[in-house]
Chains A and B, each alone.
Chain A
Amino acid sequence: MTVFSAPPAGAVFFAGTHNGRRGTHTLRMDRITDLKQTLTALKRRLPAEDILIFSFRSADGRAFACVYADALTDKDLLGEQVLSPLMRYRGAPAASAICECVTAPEVRRCGSLRQLADEVLAGNPVLLWEGMDEAASVGVKKIPVRAVAEPPTDVVTRGPREGFVEDFKTNTALVRRRLKTADLRIDTLTLGERSNTAIAVCYLRGIAPKTTVDAVKARLSAVEIDVLPDSSYLTHALSSRPHSLVKQVGTTEKPDIFCAKLAEGRVGILADGSPIALTVPYLMAEDFQSAEDYFVSAHRATLTRLLRLFALLTAIYLPAFYIAAQLFKLQLFPIKLLLTIAGSIRDIPLSPSLEMLLVLLVLEVLNEASIRMPKYVGMALSVVGALVLGETAVNAGFVSTPAIIIVAFSGIGLYAVPNLIEQTSVLRLAMLLTAGSVGTYGIVLLSAFVLLYLVTTENFGVPLAAPFAPLVRRDCKDALLKYGLPSLHMRPKSLLSRNKRRMK
């Protein structure tokens, strides 16, 4: 038995012709016939050093070779379930007989070199033997995966704590575990010319609209990209307005939420290597909901949803209104508050807009740094950022206390709806700039712009602002308000689900 990682010297390439112009060999024929030639051709296709070939003979002296990717293969399983049985094998060289001999549960026959190469790169060892009519690949890959854990972006105090991981199969297993029905369809496709990333389009047959499923597949198939590192790369393809700031694709890291969305008639997308699952069609109201809302009383859930909306609106509008009021309309402040503010800002050298922009900038920098920095310097940054910078800046008279309070509240408020943070932080800045230049009327106009844009945006035929615009009364039972479970016996009408009723 020998293990080698480089093609043998002087190898002759089967079906290879010399391309005089480019000086490279191309394979015209892709068929598998002879062991030695196939092996050479395969190694030619996969010249990387981590692609290994293990040669051995069966009990009747037939030559076998196993080609595998070193880091991706479970060698224990390969030895136990594939190599040991084959070393004891005596019989015909037919692929069917060889496949039966192998005790691994996942064995596929491969008829072309390209297929063989794809299987090896996917982590499935391929078997070649003397006198073969077809080769075989065995599913014994062992990809290093992170354990299933609670996602840091969606922590709950009650409810399931599992989160998606980077492994595709684990993720599909987590979905399948919750939806044990034949109607759950997981259609896979491969995207990325070089990454060959597996993508799963998940939906419940009979519930998800066929038009949506077909449209999702069509849009995904149209993606032309060489490497697809994460599912977020697909959001542009799935959006009707790809350059828009507005979010048009739902995201989740939790399989329970993912399955609940599938059960409402949405289509889910899982990408290999990404713990973020995508769901379409997306409604803006989704991001005001939390998994926990369904595990607590409806009254509490309604209250928290309204609080989230209040926090978000305050976070976006408070800095802007504060600036607009200071610059253009002092009447907006109650008189006592006005006196307090006047006392605080008396000696500030910066204009109100510049002061607020500066404090917001500091907050954004602190926020960015605290996400990226190592955890052991977290405490130091908190001290430096919150205490030293904040307090010293106020004492030194660079910024006023109200500005710090407003920005702090705004910063916290945005995180009440964490999934919209990308959009809301930009919107807050836009509001602030508008308020500083045009005043309160600017805020009104920009809000009108945003409203008009939101209500006219649709994706997969579903309006983003539904169930509020257009108003769908039935769906309002689980939008900002949360009715009790018995009232939610119908699936959301806005999603155009094929099966309307989910509970009797």
Chain B
Amino acid sequence: MLAYLLLRWSGVGVFVLLWEMAPRLGWIDPYFVPAFSDVVREIVHLLLDDYLGIHIVVSVWRAVVGLSIACLVGVPLGLALGRLYPRLGDALGPLLRVLSQVNPFSLLPVFVLFFGIGEVAKLSVVGWVSLWPVLFYTMTATRNVDPVQEKSAASMGISLPELLLKVILPAALPTIFVGIRIGATITFYILVASEMLGASAGLGFLVHNAAMNYQIPRIYAGATFIVIFGYLLNRFLIRLEGALFAWREDTALPSAASALAPVSGWRPGRGTAWTGAAALVAIVVFGGIEVRNVNREAASVAPGAHSRHFGTPVDGGGN
């Protein structure tokens, strides 16, 4: 096991080693590519200086709220189109597919025109991007419920709402979760990119701001942090999926996923579920308060003045 882990992470190790050595030995200009240890030091500095935490909170809040909106719209709509009115779903299918191809970045200007430059525009982009995987996976999942389960429930005289809630939704849940997970991954990607195009806080803004001020180690620090954060988020969601839906007999996921992340003995019980729900609510509430403060502060900071959260405003002077 240890040998396998060593082999597995050796590629990353070599890369980090090269990154450390190349600037130190002068193979690359250290001004443009700071050594890995300097970047790590910058990340720690950002964390301790309280900037990074706020940017993380802002980005995570946007992602969570946008994704929740997508789920609130996508799951019921998918249930309706996939299950209740399958003919309507059939008729709308191609149209929805074309709409799902609409580029989130070309929508950004439209949303900005609609809602102003504030949070709603960003949440709309996030919601739009994550809506489609959730919707399509829900439609497919509710359509492909095992007919035996459905028929036996029907033969016991189940009512339609109960059939939906107690048979179809649980049976479809694993696949719906895949949709939500894909939505979350894409969302984080797009969110960070759209924060670079116009925002006053968030992880994408951190990198963009650093670039505008020629704080080169900070660009690398922000980018590295985003990459690691996204990777861990992805891993966590895969783990969660494995733990939540371990009861599934036919694993729809190919074996590669389970081979890489062997399903642990851990199963979320009721306590974990409540903790998770509480954490989500806490993120939404406290994140929302923090986002409001950040936006208010960003609006009140005069150009060139120093702000607690952002170090230096985009058009300000040196640090």
Asked whether A and B interact, the reply is no
Q: Chain B interface (Cβ within 8 Å of chain A)?
A: none
